């Protein structure tokens, strides 16, 4: 089972985890409500994909620039400021739901929040090695995955019920409350000042981060293989259409589709006590991505909801294992003065990849059908993972021991 020792040893880590848990629950509620509203207004899976595309540019720009800011400022203060702005964005969605809803806020507010996530998530992740120590980085990564996946399970399932009962406006205001809890937790931790040698934020700082990634094939591989998995193998933009047209359900079925990935991922995260004993992290990531692609391919071939949910759960399990090992590779291979920038790049990949995947899935589904979109995407994911593993041998062969590794200078 997952090791909870870092929570016992670090008060500040407990605060960050607790605040993030409540924030994640609210965010996952909104992640169900926005595409559901868009699909109800337009009836188009492509429009659902375009909502994600609208979030892509601000996410990528802010995660690139945000990483350079994170390395140059107090990370705690940055978390507080960004959390307040994210709460205001969700409040805007709540007001729109109360007054309308109009379609354009469902594009604008999530895009604004996505940009802010380019600051918040890298700042939080960059603090982890200081809070728990390098030896506990894999365990902390597993905890954050368990936390996120718990929100992914509970949030969409509850979101589907709330959409059908209390209404979409209640979902958005619950998200506001979650952000408030995260802000309070961040305010209560110790200051997180920048490294004494951190450069000023800006283009030169960003270029330095990219140069470091290019020089380290193991880090580059961790980014690229996740892009492959999410762009080709993430069919979530098709979930509203699957719920309503293939599985003949409604908001509850949609909630179960979203949460089933999280069920498998949560089970995987809660049973990650073994990950600290794995030394071939690159090979483990490759195997996990292959398992993800195989499960998604099979998911596209079935029309019986219980079997479909099980396959999505298997995919979620594979995804969380991949995430834990990718985070371990990146955190243990980066000096603290660069950690914010590389975490910014990682957030751009982790959150930008699925949004490109939404566009790919929605576009292909509009051209050739829902099932063909899912199956072809899963197959391309498998092919891409094999090519990446072959092309980047230092990534495939990377071997790290968290108990003895020291951060590079």
Residue 81 has pLDDT above 60, yes or no: yes
pLDDT digits (tens, 9 = 90+) for 12-59: 999 998 888 888 888 888 888 888 888 888 877 778 878 877 887 888
Determine the pLDDT at residue 67. Answer: 85
**Domain membership flag for residue 407:** no
- Segment 204-224 shows an average pLDDT of 89
Determine the pLDDT at residue 309. Answer: 93
Determine the pLDDT at residue 135. Answer: 78
Residue 407 has pLDDT above 70, yes or no: no
Say how many C-beta atoms besides its own lie within 10 A of residue 301's C-beta. Answer: 13
Say how many C-beta atoms besides its own lie within 10 A of residue 30's C-beta. Answer: 25
Q: Whole-angstrom Cα distance, residue 35 to residue 28?
A: 12
**Domain membership flag for residue 404:** no
**Domain membership flag for residue 345:** yes
- Please state the separation of Cα 180 from the chain's center in Å: 20
Determine the pLDDT at residue 284. Answer: 92
**Domain membership flag for residue 403:** no
Q: What residues make up the domain containing 188? A: 5-396
- Higher-pLDDT residue of 402 and 336 is 336
- Segment 312-340 shows an average pLDDT of 88
Q: Which of 66-75, 128-137, 267-276, 283-292 is the most confident on average?
A: 283-292
CB within 8 Å of 224: residues ≥ 6 apart: 388, 392
Angle between helices 105-132 and 11-42 (to 10 degrees): 160
- Higher-pLDDT residue of 286 and 169 is 286
Q: Which residue has the tokens 């990483």?
A: 67
- Residue 202: phi and psi, rounded to 5, are 150, -170
**Domain membership flag for residue 323:** yes
Tell me the chain's radius of gyration from C-alpha atoms. 20
Pull the structure tokens for residue 138.
Answer: 């894999």
Determine the pLDDT at residue 185. Answer: 92
Residue 377 has pLDDT above 80, yes or no: yes
Determine the pLDDT at residue 388. Answer: 94
Q: Which residue has the tokens 């595409």?
A: 35
Question: Which CATH number fits the domain that encloses residue 257?
Answer: 1.20.1250.20
Q: Whole-angstrom Cα distance, residue 162 to residue 43?
A: 21
CB within 8 Å of 390: residues ≥ 6 apart: 396
Pull the structure tokens for residue 15.
Answer: 């605060």
Q: What is the pTM of this model?
A: 0.76
Residue 332 has pLDDT above 80, yes or no: yes
Number of domains in the chain: 1
Determine the pLDDT at residue 334. Answer: 83
Q: Whole-angstrom Cα distance, residue 362 to residue 48?
A: 8
Share of the chain above pLDDT 90, in %: 23
DSSP structure string for 312-363: HHHHHHHHHHHHHHHHHHHHHTS-HHHHHHHHHHHHHHHHHHHHHHHHHHHH
Share of the chain above pLDDT 70, in %: 98
Residue 102 has pLDDT above 80, yes or no: yes
**Domain membership flag for residue 70:** yes
Residues comprising the chain, all counted: 409
Determine the pLDDT at residue 405. Answer: 60
Residue 409 has pLDDT above 60, yes or no: no
Helix (H, G, I), strand (E, B) or coil at 385: helix
**Domain membership flag for residue 406:** no
**Domain membership flag for residue 282:** yes
């Amino acid at each position: 089972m997952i090791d909870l020792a870092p929570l016992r040893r670090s008060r500040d880590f407990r605060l960050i985890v607790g605040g993030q848990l409540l924030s994640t629950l609210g965010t996952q509620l909104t992640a169900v409500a926005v595409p559901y509203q868009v699909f109800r207004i337009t009836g188009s899976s492509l429009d659902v994909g375009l909502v994600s595309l609208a979030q892509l540019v601000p996410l990528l720009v802010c995660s690139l620039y945000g990483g350079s800011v994170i390395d140059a400022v107090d990370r705690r203060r940055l978390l507080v400021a960004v959390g307040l702005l994210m709460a205001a964005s969700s409040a805007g969605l709540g007001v729109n739901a109360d007054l309308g809803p109009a379609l354009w806020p469902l594009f604008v507010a999530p895009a604004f929040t996505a940009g802010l996530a380019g600051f918040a998530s890298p700042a939080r992740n960059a603090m982890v090695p200081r809070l728990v120590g390098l030896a506990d980085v894999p365990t902390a990564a597993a905890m954050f995955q368990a936390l996120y996946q718990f929100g992914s399970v509970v949030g969409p399932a509850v979101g589907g019920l709330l959409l059908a009962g209390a209404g979409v406006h209640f979902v958005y205001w619950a998200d506001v409350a979650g952000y408030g809890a995260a802000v309070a937790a961040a305010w209560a931790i110790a200051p997180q000042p920048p490294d004494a040698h951190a450069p000023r934020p800006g283009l030169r700082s960003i270029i330095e981060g990219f140069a470091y990634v290019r020089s380290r094939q193991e880090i580059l591989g961790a980014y690229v293989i996740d892009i492959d998995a999410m762009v080709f193998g993430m069919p979530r933009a098709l979930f509203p259409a699957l719920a309503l047209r293939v599985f003949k359900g409604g908001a509850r079925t949609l909630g179960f589709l979203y949460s089933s990935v999280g069920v498998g991922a949560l089970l995987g995260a809660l049973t990650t006590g073994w990950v600290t004993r794995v030394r071939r992290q690159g090979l483990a990531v490759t195997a996990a991505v292959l398992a993800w692609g195989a499960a998604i391919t099979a998911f596209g071939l079935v029309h019986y909801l219980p079997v479909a949910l099980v396959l999505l759960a298997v995919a979620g399990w594979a995804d969380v294992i991949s995430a834990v090992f990718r985070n371990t590779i990146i955190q243990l291979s980066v000096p603290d003065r660069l950690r914010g920038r590389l975490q910014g790049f990682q957030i751009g990949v982790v959150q930008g990849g699925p949004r490109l995947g939404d566009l790919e899935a929605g576009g292909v589904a509009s051209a050739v059908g829902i099932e063909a979109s899912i199956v072809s995407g899963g197959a391309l994911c498998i092919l891409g993972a094999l090519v990446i593993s072959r092309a980047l041998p230092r990534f495939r062969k990377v071997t790290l021991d968290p108990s003895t590794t020291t951060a590079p200078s």
